[in-house]
Amino acid sequence: MASLDRGRRLLKYFLNAIMESPVLIDAHTHAQFPEFDADRDAVMARAREAGVGMINAGADVASSQKAVEVAHRHEGWAWAAVGIHPTELKDVSVFPTIASLADDVAVVGIGECGLDYFHQNDADVRSAQKELFLSHLALSHAIKKPLVIHCRQAFPDVLDLLRAHRNELLPHPGVLHFFTGTIDDARALLDLNFSFTFGGLVTFNRSFDDILKFIPRDHLLVETDAPFVAPVPYRGKRNEPAYVVETVRALAEVLGIDCAELTQIIFETTSRVFKLSI
């Protein structure tokens, strides 16, 4: 019976690919970045051939606008998240542009936004990052689109802000992208019903195994964060959305689960969190 069920899942997987709809979503990537200007169409075609859709996340106003453009050009395979990365404080004054973009039908998330304290000890800068993050949180609440959170060496403050504003969070409030926190951090975020994206790092760094096993499978998503952090066997090369399948393979090995089954779970989770209609 198990063999028959697995066969049915695989058949569904390949039928979906033939029907020209994604079977997996790269939940956080940047195919709109300049690194892809020379061959973006080919990159998008390779993702489509692999059955991979994508959410392109903005890091500032310009890349957010570009993410929306790419999403419209590749409707049904690409979506956008719009926001200002915490290290891009130069764009704070034009945050209303992000709010305007967020209403676009192709936009499914707010971010990437959050806090980044890596090599950043200036109290004024940290305070400005917090204010910017809260602007994104308020926007998420207002238009009912989930947060895409960047957190680097700042989990205590991110958690404090989210807890203080938990009444403004959505039922599925969003994701911690490229999650590198502890099990305690994950537990606290799960209490708020956040989900977590993991990328190419898990294909060559086994220090995440315990966290991956701790997080419920229906709160796991995958990402490439392309063009950065390519997975094995592409390390040292430019990353791209099609490579997200390698992360799924690595996750399936760690979790001891059939790859096709995990692909389906991740697809359903991503669709639920970002309210994708596929």
pLDDT tens for 19-54 read 479 999 999 999 999 999 999 999 999 999 999 999
**pLDDT surpassing 80 at residue 18:** no
- Other C-beta atoms lying within 10 Å of the C-beta of residue 62: 15
Rounded Cα gap, residues 46 and 183, in angstroms:
35
Q: What is the mean pLDDT of the chain?
A: 94
Rounded Cα gap, residues 262 and 202, in angstroms:
15
Average pLDDT, stretch 89-118? 98
Q: Where are the domains of the chain?
A: 2-274
Average pLDDT, stretch 166-189? 98
Asked whether the beta carbons of 111 and 136 are under 8 A apart, the reply is yes
CA dist list (Å): 7 to 10, 194, 261 = 5, 32, 11
Rounded Cα gap, residues 113 and 234, in angstroms:
28
Q: Taking the domain 2-274, which CATH number applies?
A: 3.20.20.140
